[in-house]
Structure 1
Amino acid sequence: MGDGRRNDRNPAMFGASQLMRWSLSSCSNFPQHKYFYINQPMTWFQAQNYCREHYNDLATFESYDDISMLEPTFPYEYAWIGLIDDPKSWKVNLGNKSNSWRWSVTGEPGKTTFEAWASSEPSFGNAQETCVNMDTDGTWIDTDCTNKYSFVCYTVTKQSEKVYNFFPTVKSWNSAQEYCKEHYTDLAMIENAFENAMVFSKIGGKRAWIGLYRVPWTWSDRSNSSFKNWDDTDPNHFPLNGHCGVEGPHHKWLDTSCSVLQPFICQQVTRLTTTLGMQIMTDANMTDPAVIEQFLQQIHARLTHLGWTDFKLQWKNLPSNQTQQT
């Protein structure tokens, strides 16, 4: 008869406490670069193909520590590195590359196909023109973001229609963006000819900032490194088509035509990997994939909160002859 007490524990879910093991593999957040000078004059794209075939890619630099790994005495006058601002992704069309045009409100390229560029625009003049204003005839012009112009903000109604507001006060593009985000939705986003005509009707013959901008220069290996080591007068878009980066004397960078024949620098990248093993005691059913997945998600969230990056968790049960029960 027993003592009348029920055991509500589900043996299938809990069972006896067991010793379990799981492993944590972590890759260094900072890849280890090794650089190789190649004295075979090629165009930038030829050099890129060579490096990808024989190494990893053209050289990427993420810090001055990487620069210090280069030969102290520069062996050539100039050498290609992996930096490029390919006009196919910003001049031919709006594009969806990381250096393509994007609207401030989304911050993402490839979200619209409408464009109203003036003749010969965008031009990326002096390698500085990465923000856009509407000209007095309603066409778009890229210009230096630090220039000061009037600007147009916008909001969206409940009917999903855009309402544009023109401000004659002159500001830099960034200051205008801050104002629009604080008081409206953002700088004007224009997605079709009708909306372009609406903005044009507001500006009254003035030039005005709209929300189009881009972030120039990308790395061949698609690194998101924001490190820059340009020479004092570069980039300057010299000679009017300077879309590829070279390293010059003192390891400073310059921009020049991608078709110039130069020696180049390749890179070999490795990542340091650390594997840790841990053991836990639990009475949960760790043969259930759903339970294991939930456990790993909790551990992942905890480690991420503690600052871990670029790691993988893997569950592994001990062999049955090593399992301890209590």
Structure 2
Amino acid sequence: MAGIIHLLLLSGLSLQFSHSLQPQFVFFQTPKTWTEAQSICREQCFDLATINDMREMEIVLEAVKDKYDDAVWIGLSKGTTLRWHWSLADDEFYKEGERNYLLWSSVTGNNCAVSSNGNLNMYGCDYLKYSVCFDATKQGADQYILNTQSMVWTAARDYCRTNYTDLTSLRNDAEYQIVQEVASGSEVYVGLFRDPWEWSDQTDSSFRFWNPAETVWTSGTQNCVAMLKENSGKWGDRACTETHPFVCDCRNKLSFIKLRISPQDSMLDLNNPSVQADILEQMSQKLRSNNTTAVFRLTWRKQADGRVFTKEP
């Protein structure tokens, strides 16, 4: 392990060992601003709650029940970059590279995606379209179900989650082909969407539970997210300076290592997301090659100004 730690000290990332602990969400009833709630969660637990799927959402709903009057903070806030996500958020569902296997036919400013003739097109989320659901309880081509009710993207997602597992993802050439065949020439919504929302602990959960009146949120919203009493716990945006109860995520302990890195290329921008992603991948490969039995997740921890690295004078 000493060799691994030495390599980590040269690279600059935060290292998390989870050992498959079960989620534990703790409800704090004393109202705080979003930033105050984040600080308390990080001091007393792990961070503000990250919610990865509907099962965890139900755990959080059970934890807060009727103990709040208006809103409850969770760990989601608005970032500065629109990023594409699959609605089906389960990390174990995707092999390396499959989350980003996006075969675009057209690129526009829209924030949802349809499958059309074996490729992806960016599409407005408010259009009424057929969709393709995914059913994890079945096998082979039977996993992909055409929904011939015309719906907006969020309604299609909720329909698929209620009746099957979720809107389908497109992870590889085989799935692109199957969905094209299932759609029978129709443009169909799939589970791809983009938004600027980020979790406080910097994990990449794509799970969203917005209230029914909202589509895929991008602009014109407040910067922090809360569960709303009036929508039975579904999410809405609120000003971060409002004070509300909050939910902390206490599932794991994090180990943070403050590091210094001296790149061989002086022109290399260490705050470039692609550079940071490359370094994380190299570190993950190193950990795997050393046959560690721990369950780990490597992430960058951003500073207050949004950067990971600060250049020393």
TM-score (norm 1): 0.38
TM-score (norm 2): 0.40
Question: Between Structure 1 and Structure 2, which shows a larger proportion of helix residues?
Answer: 2
Of the two, which has the highest radius of gyration? 1
